[in-house]
């Protein structure tokens, strides 16, 4: 049972990733839409990173900045909080989701808020804050076009960057027509035009603007938002009160470091050189200003993030800048979409982050198994998080804690017994050759019995040849020996040189 991670309003039925994936695999529109979008974003990213050049140097720089900041997080977060406070921001700390929700609601109630306009924030998704606000009678309106659409649909985002990736224009037209009270044509310009008008009203009447935070600059206490639509600027300009929810790891030391993040994030997310808007907000409006919030709160949220601190296998997870490049690169995500992951975060980052944020190993979903460990996520990651390795660590921890599948454990015991000795391995191969006689037809195996069912639904399995390599070795070696008694002298020289070089490097690395 893993229902604990299932957010309210998620569309994906099914309790296991396998069941949810099956639903997605049978949804032709979804698969095509996800494929098209991820290919567009992935292509854009490749083009942008190539055009920019020295991409690996930039990635390494980004990684080093994030590593450094997280390694000194107490210093930088403390500095940020002090500076933000000096700027006039009301800074709060929340260990848990419940604490963050309680603080947000208290601020809303104290300000007699009737409505909150929100710009895209994954942290508030994590907290299910919209439902909490509605429970005290405060209307929460998502203002990012995609978020607004899925809010009307009563769903959760299925992609970090393009939340409504799974909806087509007809579905969107139906949702917006219901809101408009008239039929809107399934035309992007018409639909977006309606949303612009509708949300303008919402912005102007809202009591509170609520945002997430892409980066928080420790040295000046500023918070930075990247976006394309301008809704985050609306949310931080128009309402009287601003609440920003930020994960405690969003920190970077300086504006100088922001240049690196601004180089990596938009290119990795959408292939843009910079998002249309990048805003650095340093405190509430100044006394003489005529716009901007009068009261500004920043709620710094832990909610499981600190579990990663000091854990050598997972600390780098906190380096994530939420660009979504790993989703776009992931062949599994492409086929199953975001909802199949069953948590707030989807794709490779979600597969690792969702269990990592929760300490209870027993409740971890089998989501870590939904990866071929191809490493495309790592290659795409602008701060080089080894997500493919982390998936293996998650699997190992589940096994170590005794929550592995019984059948698999048995199989792996067998694997260890057979592969622990060449003699037994050879024996098993002989048995296999005997056993397969029952199922081999035309040199291949097509039966869907037992463990071959999954494999042979999409493939044929090869049969074992008459002789394994180890069986043929003696003959082969004898044959080779006739022409070549030993490695040729010139080759040997070459190889010796390589060995010397290897030894030198080894010595060097010991001293360096």
Partner 1 sequence: MKVSLFITCLNDAVYPRVGEAMVRLLARHGVRLDFPKVQTCCGQPAFNSGYWDEARAAAATILEAFDDSDFVIAPSGSCAYMIHHYSQLFRHDPGLLAKAEELQRKTYEFTQFFVQVLGVTDLGAFFPHRVTYHPSCHGSRLLGVKEEPMALLNGVKGLELVPLPFAEDCCGFGGTFAVKMADISGAMVMEKTDHVKETAAEVLVGLDMACLMNIAGNLRHRNEPVRVMHLAELLYEGVTGVMKR
Partner 2 sequence: MAETGMGSHRDWLAQLESESRAKQQAFMDGIATKLGRPRVTSAPAHPFRGAPDFWNGFEWPLEERIERFTDNFKSVGGHVERLADMEAVKRFIAAKAVELKARYAVRQNQPELAAIGLEEAMPEVRFAVWNTDREEHWMARAAEADIGVMLVDHAAAYTGSLAVLSSKDTGRSVSLLPTVLIAVVPIERLHTRLGEILVPFDEAGREALPAGIHFISGPSRSADIENDLTIGVHGPGIVYALLVG
Between CA 502 and CA 512 the distance in angstroms is 15
Contact between 363 and partner 1 (CB under 8 A)?
A: no
Number of chain positions touching partner 1 (CB under 8 A): 85
From its phi and psi, is residue 193 left (phi > 0), alpha (psi between -120 and 50) or beta?
alpha
**Nearest CB to partner 2, comparing residues 126 and 365:** 126
**Nearest CB to partner 1, comparing residues 161 and 332:** 332
Which listed residue (409, 427, 431, 449) binds partner 1 by CB under 8 A? Answer: 409
Residue 64: CB atoms within 10 Å: 14
Residue 473: CB atoms within 10 Å: 11
Which listed residue (219, 313, 363, 471) binds partner 2 by CB under 8 A? Answer: 219
**Nearest CB to partner 1, comparing residues 182 and 486:** 486
Is 112 exposed, middle or buried (CB count within 10 Å of its CB: 0-12, 13-18, 19+)? exposed
Which listed residue (121, 279, 319, 344) binds partner 2 by CB under 8 A? Answer: 279
Minimum distance from residue 483 beta carbon to partner 1 (Å): 7
Helix (H, G, I), strand (E, B) or coil at 22: helix
The answer for residues whose C-beta is within 8 angstroms of residue 472's C-beta and 6 or more apart is: none
- The values of phi and psi at residue 462, to 5°, are -75, 155
Minimum distance from residue 166 beta carbon to partner 2 (Å): 11
The answer for residues whose C-beta is within 8 angstroms of residue 500's C-beta and 6 or more apart is: none
Between CA 428 and CA 67 the distance in angstroms is 48
Cβ(242)–Cβ(235) under 8 Å? yes
Contact between 404 and partner 1 (CB under 8 A)?
A: yes
Contact between 281 and partner 2 (CB under 8 A)?
A: yes
Q: Which does 259 bind (CB under 5 to 8 A by kind): partner 2, partner 1, none?
A: partner 2
In total, the chain counts a number of residues equal to 512
At 53, list the tokens.
């050049």
Minimum distance from residue 76 beta carbon to partner 2 (Å): 9
**Nearest CB to partner 2, comparing residues 19 and 205:** 205
Contact between 143 and partner 2 (CB under 8 A)?
A: yes
**Nearest CB to partner 1, comparing residues 180 and 392:** 392
Binders of partner 2 among residues 68 to 107 (CB under 8 A) are: 68, 71-75, 77-78, 81, 83, 85-87, 90-93, 95, 106
Binders of partner 1 among residues 271 to 330 (CB under 8 A) are: none
At 331, list the tokens.
């062949």
Q: Which does 502 bind (CB under 5 to 8 A by kind): partner 1, partner 2, none?
A: partner 1
Q: Which does 444 bind (CB under 5 to 8 A by kind): partner 1, partner 2, none?
A: partner 1
Contact between 34 and partner 2 (CB under 8 A)?
A: no
Longest alpha-carbon distance in the chain:
94
Binders of partner 1 among residues 447 to 466 (CB under 8 A) are: 451, 453-462, 464-465
């Amino acid at each position: 049972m893993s229902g604990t991670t299932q957010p309210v309003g998620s569309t994906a039925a099914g309790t296991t990733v396998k069941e949810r994936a099956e639903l997605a695999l049978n949804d032709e529109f979804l698969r095509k839409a996800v494929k098209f979008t991820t290919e567009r974003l992935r292509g854009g990213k490749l083009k942008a990173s190539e055009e920019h050049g020295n991409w690996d140097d930039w990635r390494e720089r980004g990684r080093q900045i994030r590593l450094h900041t997280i390694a000194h997080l107490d210093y930088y977060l403390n500095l940020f909080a002090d500076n933000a406070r000096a700027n006039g921001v009301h800074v709060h700390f929340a260990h848990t989701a419940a604490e963050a929700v309680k603080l947000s609601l208290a601020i809303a109630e104290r300000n007699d808020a009737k409505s909150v306009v929100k710009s895209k924030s994954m942290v508030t998704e994590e907290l299910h804050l919209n439902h909490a606000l509605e429970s005290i009678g405060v209307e929460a309106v998502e203002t990012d076009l995609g978020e607004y659409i899925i809010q009307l649909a009563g769903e959760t985002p299925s992609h970090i960057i393009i939340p409504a990736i799974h909806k087509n224009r007809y579905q969107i037209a139906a949702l917006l027509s219901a809101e408009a009270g008239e039929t809107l044509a399934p035309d992007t310009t018409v639909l977006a035009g309606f949303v612009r008008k509708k949300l303008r009203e919402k912005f102007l009447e809202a009591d509170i603007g609520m945002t997430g935070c892409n980066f928080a600059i420790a040295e000046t206490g500023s918070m930075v938002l990247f976006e394309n639509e301008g809704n985050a600027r609306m949310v931080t300009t128009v309402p009287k009160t601003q609440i920003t929810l930020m994960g405690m790891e969003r920190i970077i030391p300086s504006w100088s470091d922001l240049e690196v993040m601004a180089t990596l994030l938009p290119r990795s997310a959408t292939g843009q050189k910079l998002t249309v808007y990048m805003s650095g907000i340093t405190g509430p409006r100044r006394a003489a200003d005529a716009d901007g919030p009068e009261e500004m709160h920043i709620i710094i949220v832990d909610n499981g993030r600190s579990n990663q601190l000091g854990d050598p296998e997972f600390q780098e997870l906190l380096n994530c800048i939420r660009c979504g490049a790993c989703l776009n690169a992931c062949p599994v995500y492409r086929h199953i979409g975001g909802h199949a992951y069953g948590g707030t975060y989807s794709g490779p980052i979600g597969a690792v982050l969702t269990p990592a944020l929760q300490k209870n190993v027993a409740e971890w979903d089998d989501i870590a198994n939904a990866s071929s460990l191809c490493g495309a996520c790592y290659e795409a990651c602008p701060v080089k998080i080894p997500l493919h390795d982390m998936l293996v660590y998650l699997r190992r921890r589940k096994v170590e804690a005794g929550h592995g599948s019984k059948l698999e454990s048995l199989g792996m015991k067998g694997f260890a017994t057979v592969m622990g000795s060449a003699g037994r391995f050879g024996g098993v191969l002989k048995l296999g050759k005997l056993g397969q006689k029952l199922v081999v037809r035309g040199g291949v195996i097509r039966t869907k019995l037992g463990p071959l069912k999954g494999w042979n639904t999409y493939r044929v399995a090869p049969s074992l040849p008459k002789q394994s390599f180890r069986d043929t070795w003696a003959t082969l070696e004898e044959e080779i020996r006739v022409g070549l008694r030993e490695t040729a002298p010139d080759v040997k020289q070459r190889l010796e040189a390589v060995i010397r070089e290897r030894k030198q490097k080894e010595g060097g690395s010991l001293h360096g």
